[in-house]
Amino acid sequence: MLVRTAVRDDLPEIERITVQACAEAFAGILPTEVAEAERARVAPGSALRAALLAGDLLVGTGADGRIDAIAMLSRNNDVVEMLTMLASGHPSREPSVTAFVAAVRRRGWAGPITSEAVLGNEPHESFLEAGGFAPGEVVAHDIDGHVLFRRRWWLPAQVERLHDTG
């Protein structure tokens, strides 16, 4: 998977993936209209555009150039938060969070990285776990009278290897 900074022409596809990924994650948990309102709260178009302008919206593409995953980055204190969304696709297409982590590290960030996934969203949780993220706290959110559980996933700070020069 090739990860690059999103460009303006990517926005329609990014917004489509965001809608589809949230619909899949919230299916069976939230009614459709509540799920759409939650998607608009979590990843509104204005936040996507602001991240794009700041260079903090990344896309992961397959060999054919199709966007398979997105990551919106935000820096909070000593942590980078990475909001990730996966595109539905053929089972042979397996997006890798490792490529996104490498892109964040190339930007000079060596600190911890966090992400969240709806509890029980197997594709999203597997995506994070395969990249070395460890499961963390589970938080319950009351959304319009419906309970949604999210798990925070943690990737520790990058540790520089020490070389024995002696």
Query: Which domains are seen in the chain, by residue range?
Result: 2-155 (3.40.630.30)
Q: How far is CA 162 from CA 61, 66, 165, in A?
A: 34, 39, 9
pLDDT-based confidence at 45, cuts 50/70/90?
Answer: confident
Model confidence pTM above 0.75: yes
The pLDDT value recorded for residue 4 is 96
- Count Cβ atoms below 10 Å from residue 141 Cβ, excluding itself: 11
Confidence of residue 88 (pLDDT cuts 50, 70, 90): confident
| Helix (H) or strand (E) run with residue 129 in it | helix 122-130
pLDDT at 54 over 90: yes
CB-based contact 30:38 (threshold 8 Å): yes
- Measured CA to CA in angstroms, residue 15 lies from 9, 83, 104, 107, 119 at distances of 11, 14, 22, 25, 23
Structure token digits, residue 153? 């996933």
Cβ–Cβ under 8 Å, residues 69 and 109: no
Res. 89 pLDDT band, cuts 50 70 90 = low
Residue with tokens 């993220």: 133
Average pLDDT on 97-102 reads 93
Flag whether pLDDT at 147 surpasses 80: yes
Whether 148 and 138 have beta carbons less than 8 Å apart is answered as: no
Percent of the chain with pLDDT over 70: 93
Give percent of the chain above pLDDT 90. 68
Kindly report, residue by residue over 111-141, the tens digit of the pLDDT: 999 999 999 899 899 999 999 999 999 999 9
On the 0-12 / 13-18 / 19+ scale of CB atoms within 10 A, 11 is middle
